[in-house]
Amino acid sequence: MSVTESDVRKISYLARIRIDDSKIHEVQDSLNQILSFVEQLNEVDCSQVDDIFQYSTGLREREDVIGVGDPALARNAPAMECNMFVVPKVVG
């Protein structure tokens, strides 16, 4: 698989990255080198490697309960209302 000039332009548009026309071929070469390296990973024999999900089955689960929390947090909060932190509106 190789990246074409139009692919680089589309990727830069989607990523909202402005690439000068003089740098398009440089970026194209870099992306092709990255893809070449990733394709080499397909040659690695992973048949003897255990699946990672087998190790996650031994994790302990805790009961999901609502707790009071740390009272020091509430004391240091600039504003509290109904046992909740009051924060300024972020969306304008």
The ranges assigned to domains in the chain are: 5-43
pLDDT mean over 1-7: 92
Check pLDDT > 90 for residue 76. Answer: no
Nearest to 17 by CA among 25, 27, 32: 27
pLDDT at 56: 57
pLDDT at 48: 84
Indicate the CATH number of 5-43 among 1.20.140, 1.10.3470, 1.10.20, 1.10.287.
1.10.20
Between residues 83 and 59, the one the model is more confident about? 83
